Structure 1
């Protein structure tokens, strides 16, 4: 899975990442065990993390009965089933979250949109310091497709994660694109995807940057809690400015 340079980087690493955990949400439209080309790119990043002691889980949201909506548990709003609360527990137990998606019609998958909406449903929850529940965690994204749109998808996905409270390191995205129109996908033998140097470089940089930033945040105890606590803002600890309505 890793080339010689990637393996050498892992062998020469002196930073302890063994107390970190990562969750990859593979927003493919294909249920397990159907082959996911997006999972092929995940495997490279996952291997680098695991070689460095990070505990990694890969989950396909499409395998689970996730309700639509923007509340933490949609069974409270008329849905008979909602697997999202259990997935959210995994999200909140992870130091690193990587959203991954194929490209359809130049955009991220419908599953990825649903996942972001459900992540947003917990945006009103706060940590022990009164910050967004996602503060102190790191986010990135991986994208595959046979048509253009990778940067468009990354902009939306990384903005969404940052808006929710995730820290986004430099070079936090990577992608592979095949030829425009029908053609081989990432894992197809004739695609050249796994050998693509540009994709391999960006995936490697993204993975290490996620681990480095997660290490820094964990060692620092998260994002300093000054000037970003909603409780204190609502209690009046601010300059003479109106209190924005929370939506």
Structure 2
């Protein structure tokens, strides 16, 4: 089983990402369960705006699309900006829109029988809104969203320390992240054993 962590931080490498730091708690738990984990930071790639899989030229989204189709588990990693998902997360979802019409040879939509979840951080509130927006879009595309398939961290109202600068809230965020990994793995395993069939309508 494979898991793809798509980081939607606005920071290019090698700048550290607070949200990726929390995501690695989830990734480590999945690895302990035998899942092969891959991390991709979209800010490092040329991903133009659009709603198709391949825009041609130097568009690097097709390589991400291949990784999506190779993974049974998707974890979207997004900071909170102004109470919303990052602009890169929105662009990711727009590019994934093409998957709505892409099908396997048996007619099953390509996102079927895959699970997804979300990791969010920010030194401001808005995590539940970010989780809802991203998970709602992924469900539209065809992903299965298990219960409690998310974790988040925030400092509280107003400016303050960032995730790596404090231990505030880490115990809860890490415990929730490990539960997230458990639920993603369990539902992905169930779908592998009993996949949703191709629609007949």
* TM-score of Structure 1 vs Structure 2, range by shorter chain: over 0.9
Between the aligned partners of 1:198 and 1:129, the Cα distance in structure 2 is 42
Cα deviation, residue 182, structure 1: 2.0
Cα deviation, residue 219, structure 1: 1.4
TM-score (normalised: structure 1): 0.78
Query: Considering only aligned residues, what root-mean-square deviation do their CA atoms show, in Å?
Result: 1.2
Cα deviation, residue 173, structure 1: 1.2
Residue by residue over 1:92-121, the C-alpha shift from the partner in whole angstroms, topping out at 9 and shown as x without a partner, is: 000000011000000000000000111112
8 Å contact from structure 1 (residues 27, 102) kept in 2? yes
SS at match of 2:101: coil
Indicate the residue corresponding to 1:34 in structure 2: 15
Cα deviation, residue 131, structure 1: 2.2
Alignment match of 2:60 (pick from 83, 97, 103): 83
Indicate the residue corresponding to 1:134 in structure 2: 111
Indicate the residue corresponding to 2:97 in structure 1: 120
Question: Can you give the 5+ residue segments of structure 2 that lack an aligned partner in the other structure?
Answer: none
SS at match of 1:197: helix
Q: Which runs of 4+ in 1 moved over 6 A?
A: none
Indicate the residue corresponding to 1:159 in structure 2: 136
Q: Which of these two proteins has the greater Rg computed from alpha carbons?
A: 1
Alignment match of 2:167 (pick from 166, 170, 192): 192
Q: How many equivalent residue pairs?
A: 201
Between the aligned partners of 1:59 and 1:96, the Cα distance in structure 2 is 14
Indicate the residue corresponding to 2:32 in structure 1: 51
Cα deviation, residue 198, structure 1: 2.1
Alignment match of 2:175 (pick from 197, 201, 218): 201
**26-35 or 176-185, larger mean C-alpha shift:** 176-185
TM-score (normalised: structure 2): 0.96
Q: Which has the higher contact order (CA 8 A, sep 6+)?
A: 2
